[in-house]
A and B are shown apart, each in its own frame.
Chain A
Amino acid sequence: MKSTDISDPQYFHKVVDCQYACPAHTPVPEYIRMIAAGRYGDAYMVNWKSNVFPGILGRTCDRPCEPACRRVRVEEEPVAICRLKRVAADFKEDITERMPKPAQRRNGKRIALVGAGPSALTVARDLAPLGYSVTVFDGDAKAGGMIRTQIPKFRLPDSVIDEETNYVLNLGVDFRGGQRIESMKALLAQDWDAIFVGTGAPRGRDLDLPGRKEAAANIHIGIDWLSSVSFGHISKIGKRVIVLGGGNTAMDCCRSSRRLGGDEVQVVVRSGFDEMKASPWEKEDAQHEGIPIHNFLVPKEFTHENGKLTGVLFEKVKPELDAKGRRKLVNAGEPDQHFPCDDVLVAVGQENAFPWIERDAGIDFDEWNMPKVDKVTFQSSNPRVFFGGDAAFGPKNIIWAVAHGHEAAVSIDKMLNGEDLTDRPQPAVEVMSQKMGIHEWSYDNQIDLDKRYKVPHRDLTIALRDIKSEVELGFDVGLALKEAGRCLNCDVQTVFSAPLCIECDACVDICPMDCITFTPNGEEAELRTRLTAPAMNFDQALYVQEGLKTGRAMIKDEDVCLHCGLCAERCPTGAWDMQKYMLEMTHAGSSCRPPQRSAA
């Protein structure tokens, strides 16, 4: 293998697994260290810069970072990254002064954002301080989009949404609440310099089964029902409720029902429990509230009597592999099951809908009725119109919407400066030694066995009484400190310098994870088998450095490194050093544009 080129920003980026997995590439270990140090405001600002909604995401994020967390490879559970983010939001001091100021001078460019959800607000956050005149339109009176309408208040209180949407709107953004855009053509006619569409995936999928029309009064579409609950239009549901669907919306529906009079709420899913789309923790929370989840049941019919829903009839199925090895659900040969109920909530998926974009408005749509959007620039076939969030590529989640927003803002900024949109800015990267003294590092490198701490919950009887009372109480300062201590500081990299090495083996002997080997170089596949501990996780790189006196190469398996720095502590010549790798995504603004040639 060739010596690893650590000047390539992508190399160490992949070692920081959490940050790499995050669509917005939030520097996770950096803010966790700040939380451990009690610097909650700083931790909040690191988050805010990267993901715009730390308080919201700290309660609701889909957490792609957590399955990626290196701690999972040495202990069962990842660091509670998401809930630590909430700690930063909960305990921060007043940070209003640290927010960017509205632009002193406008640059004369006008940008319309359709929808006030996470993607559009991210675009507004990135562009408004640069001097763009940003106008946000939303059909609802308050900003937030699906964050406000579809996430139940017991998971995300309004106060948090208000605070974080206001940080954006206070940047000199013109927010037109209650002004739904009904026509793209009309909007285009208003001559905006750029238009961003962040209207989400607002249509809940229906189930066209026998009895659907007859029993319509007691059959509700999940996301519509949730938003009615959110706005207080609905405050009651029948005693017996069936929720159809296995995603996070279904979990929100069943838990909301429990709080609105549903004593016997049950979730029924088509496929297996393990294949459900809902996050494991959301399933757990639902079960904790006494909601059974039945699986391998396909709904066949809504039963009704005298125009009133009486229940749902299901066919029992089992999974089977077909000739091509694909998994299919086939009849299990058992009698159909009837679940009597008073109300049904249908949460079997969401779809995009663009009834307000005329198909002759100059924006191309594909065969699935989705706008044709560039995956990198988020530009549609009309160069002035951009899409992001669920509106661009179908339903995902908040953190993806934020990532889309940042990229779309870069595109808009570049386009309005007459630049090539496909020439994307590089991230800002900094690598710095963390050595403070002979055995002192600027981070806590003492790694202990320590299981994940549970977030305290409100007592169930109290929580179920009030739909607005937040269930999770969040970590307190003490728990947050303990949980933050579980972070392995994967951004503090082991950097090796072959010319300094005297091959004394001290690092090999001390490494608790047997990551380091000095051996003759070879081909990667073969090399991986003859390391001190075989490196069988092929997703993780081998760090290779040649140029040692004996002609051998230093091979370090990045897979299970604890970043404890003992290799550097035991190195007599400083050939190993612990260096913090900071990667920050480049957002819209001068740094996303190539440097201007000076006049001289």
Chain B
Amino acid sequence: MTYLAKPKFHHPNLPKNDLGYTHRDYEGTVSTLCAGCGHDSITAAIIQACFELSIEPHRVAKISGIGCSSKTPTYFLGNSHGFNSVHGRMPSVLTGANLANRDLIYLGVSGDGDSASIGFGQFAHALRRGVNMAYIVENNGVYGLTKGQFSATADRGSKSKRGITNTDNSIDLVAIALQLGASFVARSFSGDKHQLVPIIKAAISHKGAAFIDVISPCVAFNNHAGSTKSFDFVREHNEAVNRLDVISSRMPIEVKYDPGTVELVEQHDGTTIALRKLDADYDVHDRTAALGFLQSHAAKGQIVTGLLYMDKDADDLHGHLGTVEMPLNALNEKELCPGQAMLDKFNASMR
């Protein structure tokens, strides 16, 4: 960790977004994680994504649980709403917040321990309900804060730093998310921001439950030979199915790639995702095929990354429940107590 505050000086030619902010305006306080932690790269990617999307920081709620990953919301978007909740309980806190105020952008930040162990049930139900959020798991396969025990996402057969082999089967959060009906599922790698930043942007602009599993090497306890979540292993076994560019509604769409290799997907909020296919046969709109693809590659020891599934016509929890457009927390007495006549009418409908 670093004890110094990052100097306020910035590069004189730093680009500004539509709001006149530089990416530095999206930072939080300086990270207290270990030097070189993959989570810090994800933090930087979130900063870059929010900067590029010209998001007003006060429109974001960042909610986390417990663990190294769940500390990171302090390190980005210092001017946003934040809630550092109980271990594994981020999804329910986020769901509650989302129900109360549907107008905010929800970033759920969690780790493999927080989501695949203590909060596995919470994780499942938030996705199942289609809460409108970007759910990011910073997945390092290890319990870093308690000095390096295997987590539930550690691959069977991988070795701990002390040389012990993992005998438990691992949970693939991406596969589970697909099964549970998440309408946007992606996997990326903290060491590849060119892939990660557009995925985060696409997830934020997606309406519905968007889940991103980001493999994030733990430099202190899980970056050795024999680990399947180390920088070297992930780089060697990374099988990216596609790359994307997120084009905001204000920008003209200029795609320079060969026809047939690019698919344009329009989102609810007017943004367009330009999907550059690296694997020509891969179809991001086929949930069952995605599951098969994942499992066959996992069997070969490959880590499939990229945007793996998206339902462009997805709806969210508010859509399912038919709630009003106005955020529930903004409804006042006039809307909530429509009067005796309305009550009588309602009661009559129940008879």
Which A residues are within 8 Å of any B CB, using their own CB? 73-75, 439, 445-449, 502-506, 508-510, 512-515, 533-534, 536, 549-550, 560, 562, 564, 566, 569-573
When the two chains form their complex, are residues A569 and B35 in contact, meaning their CB atoms are under 8 A apart?
Answer: yes
When the two chains form their complex, are residues B219 and A572 in contact, meaning their CB atoms are under 8 A apart?
Answer: yes
Contacts of A572 in B (CB 8 A): 34-37, 219
Of the candidates A446, A504, A533, A573, the one whose C-beta lies within 8 Å of that of B41 is: A504
Contact of A570 with B35 at beta-carbon distance under 8 Å, contacts A505-B193, A509-B43 already known: yes
Contacts of A508 in B (CB 8 A): 44
In the complex, residue of chain B having the shortest beta-carbon distance to the beta carbon of A75: B9
Contacts of B231 in A (CB 8 A): 502-504
**Is B147 in contact with chain A by the CB < 8 A criterion?**
no
Give the complex CA separation of A562 and B235 in angstroms. Answer: 32
In the complex, residue of chain B having the shortest beta-carbon distance to the beta carbon of A71: B9
When the two chains form their complex, are residues A512 and B13 in contact, meaning their CB atoms are under 8 A apart?
Answer: no
Contact of A533 with B6 at beta-carbon distance under 8 Å, contacts A503-B191, A505-B44 already known: no
> Majority SS of interface residues in chain A?
loop
When the two chains form their complex, are residues A506 and B6 in contact, meaning their CB atoms are under 8 A apart?
Answer: no
Give the complex CA separation of A599 and B223 in angstroms. Answer: 57
Instruction: Offer 25 A-B interface pairs, CB within 8 angstroms, sorted by A.
Output: A74-B12, A447-B7, A449-B9, A502-B223, A503-B191, A504-B190, A504-B191, A504-B231, A505-B41, A508-B44, A509-B40, A509-B44, A512-B7, A513-B9, A533-B13, A536-B13, A549-B232, A549-B235, A562-B7, A566-B4, A569-B2, A569-B35, A570-B40, A571-B35, A573-B36
Contact of A445 with B4 at beta-carbon distance under 8 Å, contacts A502-B223, A571-B35, A572-B35 already known: yes
When the two chains form their complex, are residues A570 and B4 in contact, meaning their CB atoms are under 8 A apart?
Answer: no
Contacts of B306 in A (CB 8 A): none
**Is B14 in contact with chain A by the CB < 8 A criterion?**
yes
When the two chains form their complex, are residues B10 and A513 in contact, meaning their CB atoms are under 8 A apart?
Answer: yes
- Shortest C-beta distance, B17 to chain A (Å), equals 15
**Is B217 in contact with chain A by the CB < 8 A criterion?**
yes
**Is B345 in contact with chain A by the CB < 8 A criterion?**
no
**Is B11 in contact with chain A by the CB < 8 A criterion?**
yes
- Shortest C-beta distance, B78 to chain A (Å), equals 15
B residues 12-32 touching A (CB-CB < 8 Å)? 12-14, 24, 30-31
Give the complex CA separation of A306 and B254 in angstroms. Answer: 84
In the complex, residue of chain A having the shortest beta-carbon distance to the beta carbon of B217: A504
**Is B320 in contact with chain A by the CB < 8 A criterion?**
no
Q: Report the tally of A-B residue pairs with Cβ distances under 8 A.
A: 101
Contacts of B346 in A (CB 8 A): none
- Shortest C-beta distance, B128 to chain A (Å), equals 34
Contact of A504 with B9 at beta-carbon distance under 8 Å, contacts A549-B235, A569-B2 already known: no
Give the complex CA separation of A533 and B23 in angstroms. Answer: 11
- Interface band, chain B: 35 or more
When the two chains form their complex, are residues B8 and A449 in contact, meaning their CB atoms are under 8 A apart?
Answer: yes
**Is B3 in contact with chain A by the CB < 8 A criterion?**
yes
When the two chains form their complex, are residues B11 and A570 in contact, meaning their CB atoms are under 8 A apart?
Answer: no
When the two chains form their complex, are residues B14 and A514 in contact, meaning their CB atoms are under 8 A apart?
Answer: yes
When the two chains form their complex, are residues A506 and B9 in contact, meaning their CB atoms are under 8 A apart?
Answer: no
In the complex, residue of chain A having the shortest beta-carbon distance to the beta carbon of B230: A502
Of the candidates A73, A502, A549, A562, the one whose C-beta lies within 8 Å of that of B12 is: A73
Give the complex CA separation of A515 and B14 in angstroms. Answer: 11
Contacts of B223 in A (CB 8 A): 502
Give the complex CA separation of A447 and B11 in angstroms. Answer: 14
Q: Which of B11, B38, B44 has most A Cβ within 10 Å?
A: B11
Contact of A564 with B37 at beta-carbon distance under 8 Å, contacts A504-B191, A534-B13, A549-B235 already known: no
Give the complex CA separation of A502 and B12 in angstroms. Answer: 29
Contact of A570 with B36 at beta-carbon distance under 8 Å, contacts A439-B2, A505-B44, A509-B43 already known: yes
- Shortest C-beta distance, A282 to chain B (Å), equals 29
Interface readout for B290-309 with A: 1 if CB under 8 Å, 0 if not?
00000000000000000000
Contacts of A513 in B (CB 8 A): 9-11
In the complex, residue of chain A having the shortest beta-carbon distance to the beta carbon of B3: A439
Question: Apart from A439-B1, A504-B36, A572-B35, what are 17 other A-B pairs with CB-CB below 8 Å?
Answer: A447-B7, A447-B9, A449-B9, A502-B219, A503-B231, A504-B217, A504-B231, A506-B40, A509-B41, A509-B43, A510-B2, A512-B6, A513-B10, A515-B11, A562-B9, A571-B36, A572-B219
B residues 220-235 touching A (CB-CB < 8 Å)? 223, 231-232, 235
Give the complex CA separation of A324 and B321 in angstroms. Answer: 78
When the two chains form their complex, are residues B43 and A514 in contact, meaning their CB atoms are under 8 A apart?
Answer: no
- Shortest C-beta distance, A589 to chain B (Å), equals 42
Q: Which of B4, B38, B190, B235 has most A Cβ within 10 Å?
A: B4
Contacts of A566 in B (CB 8 A): 2, 4, 6
Give the complex CA separation of A75 and B219 in angstroms. Answer: 36
Contacts of A549 in B (CB 8 A): 232, 235
Give the complex CA separation of A534 and B15 in angstroms. Answer: 10
- Shortest C-beta distance, B216 to chain A (Å), equals 10
Q: Which of B35, B38, B44 has most A Cβ within 10 Å?
A: B35
Contact of A550 with B235 at beta-carbon distance under 8 Å, contacts A569-B4, A569-B35, A573-B36 already known: yes
Give the complex CA separation of A445 and B3 in angstroms. Answer: 11
Contacts of A569 in B (CB 8 A): 2, 4, 35
Contacts of A446 in B (CB 8 A): 4-5, 7
- Shortest C-beta distance, B148 to chain A (Å), equals 15
When the two chains form their complex, are residues A533 and B14 in contact, meaning their CB atoms are under 8 A apart?
Answer: yes
Contacts of A562 in B (CB 8 A): 7, 9
Contacts of A536 in B (CB 8 A): 13
Contacts of B4 in A (CB 8 A): 439, 445-446, 564, 566, 569
Contacts of A571 in B (CB 8 A): 35-36
When the two chains form their complex, are residues A570 and B43 in contact, meaning their CB atoms are under 8 A apart?
Answer: no
In the complex, residue of chain A having the shortest beta-carbon distance to the beta carbon of B194: A519
Contact of A510 with B6 at beta-carbon distance under 8 Å, contacts A502-B223, A570-B36 already known: yes
When the two chains form their complex, are residues B13 and A506 in contact, meaning their CB atoms are under 8 A apart?
Answer: no
Give the complex CA separation of A75 and B10 in angstroms. Answer: 10
When the two chains form their complex, are residues B9 and A512 in contact, meaning their CB atoms are under 8 A apart?
Answer: yes
Give the complex CA separation of A447 and B40 in angstroms. Answer: 22
In the complex, residue of chain A having the shortest beta-carbon distance to the beta carbon of B223: A502
